[in-house]
């Protein structure tokens, strides 16, 4: 059906690109169903939409805006990210496939309402095969303009019919992930009495930090935003809990029980892996492992790794649910399932003597394979799982 393994293909493609191998376009997108290049000279729109796999349903994935240096680098990014969304949707048990979009441009200089309207028209031309919304470099307000051209937009504010702040279920998913991890490492899923090293106090990281403090945990925190740090320190003082502020790479060397990366990716790499003294890594950051081999290295060191796309699925669950009309209670109930999914992956990894990344990938691939049999069963009437906004 498609080349197995998310992290492995990511690195393989990157290596080819780094070595300057001139790959044919169709060779690069060989695992993907469709890649659309969007060009609108009047607005300056240059975008790529990649649909990886729609076995589970229409493709769903965010749209990021970055000043890519080359079209090749933009293509590499969108192909990698769209494949990741296939796995993420399968893991979250939403009836959507994997897709992603990138807009080539500086988000601080090149954004205009007309550019996002033009982008919306290209999304609309796919006739419901692809749903998108905010990602790195874009905001919900940008897609208010796209929403005027297509209904295939998610993640806008509640005033425009959206489901609101997706960082709430994302942070909750991280908490459930930590609890499942604690169950395996410590024998109980209590948050209290343990120490966590949180890297990044943005929308998600700050919510995770506050929840852990309220549960009686102690923290190490690291963030360049002093205001965010002070907010956590103030709350800790009110609760009588300990928070130690560290800088830069010091966050990797703490004596915390669990490292919680909630900022940027690739934080588990050759330079950091020997610094870790924690028992587990659980966080919301995407692509935490620089290379698939780093997952094996963590395993060899006895550090339990929670695959990021399992843990950070709360936001995806919310935007997918939005297409059936927003329902916060339903989102929170489904997000709770992250606990059991991750716990099952831990058990499978131990049983089969494989890494947690391998177990997570296998879990997703088996689910996609099983659902493909259901989705090949023809029926004239639209099934409830795809009775969504179009």
Q: Which positions are annotated as active-site residues?
A: 100
Hey, what's the torsion of the CAs at 295, 314, 223, 255, to 10 degrees? -50
Rounded Cα distance between 357 and 349, Å, is: 8
Compute the Cα dihedral for 51, 109, 319, 127 and give only its sign: negative
How many angstroms separate the CA atoms of 334 and 339, rounded? Answer: 10
Name residue 243's beta-bridge partners: 219
Two structure tokens written together for 225: 């935003």
Answer positive or negative: Cα dihedral of 303, 309, 315, 318.
negative
What's the CA gap between 188 and 181, in Å, rounded? Answer: 9
CA distance 360 to 357: 5
Tokens linked to 259: 């490292």
CA contacts within 13 A on the Cβ side of 252 = 13
Quick count: other Cβ atoms within 10 Å of Cβ 276? Answer: 20
């Amino acid at each position: 059906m498609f080349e197995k393994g998310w992290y492995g293909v990511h690195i393989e493609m990157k290596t080819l690109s780094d070595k300057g191998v001139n790959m044919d376009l169709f060779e690069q997108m060989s695992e993907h169903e469709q890649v659309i290049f969007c060009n609108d000279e009047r607005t300056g729109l240059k975008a790529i939409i990649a649909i990886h796999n729609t076995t589970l349903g229409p493709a769903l994935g965010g749209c990021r805006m970055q000043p890519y240096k080359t079209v090749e680098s933009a293509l590499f990014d969108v192909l990698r990210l769209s494949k990741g969304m296939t796995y993420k949707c399968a893991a979250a048990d939403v009836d959507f496939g994997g897709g992603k979009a990138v807009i080539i441009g500086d988000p601080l200089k090149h954004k205009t309402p007309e550019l996002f309207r033009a982008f919306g028209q290209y999304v609309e031309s796919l006739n419901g095969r692809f749903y998108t919304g905010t990602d790195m470099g874009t905001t919900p307000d940008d897609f208010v303009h796209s929403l005027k051209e297509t209904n295939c937009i998610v993640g806008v504010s509640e005033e425009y019919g959206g489901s609101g702040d997706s960082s709430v279920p994302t942070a909750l998913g991280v908490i459930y992930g930590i609890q499942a991890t604690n169950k395996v490492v410590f024998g109980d899923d209590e948050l209290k009495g343990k120490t966590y090293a949180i890297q990044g106090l943005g929308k998600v990281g700050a919510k995770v930090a506050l929840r852990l403090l309220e549960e009686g945990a102690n923290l190490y925190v690291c963030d360049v935003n002093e205001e965010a740090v002070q907010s956590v320190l103030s709350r800790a003082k009110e609760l009588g809990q300990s928070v130690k502020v560290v800088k830069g790479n010091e966050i990797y060397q703490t004596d915390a029980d669990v490292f919680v990366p909630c900022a940027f990716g690739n934080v588990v790499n050759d330079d950091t892996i020997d610094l870790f003294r924690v028992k587990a890594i659980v966080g919301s950051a995407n692509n935490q492992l620089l290379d698939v081999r780093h997952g094996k290295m963590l395993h060899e060191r006895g550090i339990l790794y929670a695959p990021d796309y399992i843990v950070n699925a709360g936001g995806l669950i919310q935007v997918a649910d939005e297409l059936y009309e927003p329902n916060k209670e339903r989102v929170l109930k489904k997000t709770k399932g992250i606990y059991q999914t991750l716990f099952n992956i831990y058990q499978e990894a131990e049983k089969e003597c494989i890494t947690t990344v391998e177990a997570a990938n296998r879990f997703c691939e088996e689910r996609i394979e099983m659902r493909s049999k259901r989705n090949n069963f023809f029926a004239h009437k639209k099934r409830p799982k795809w009775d969504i906004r179009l």
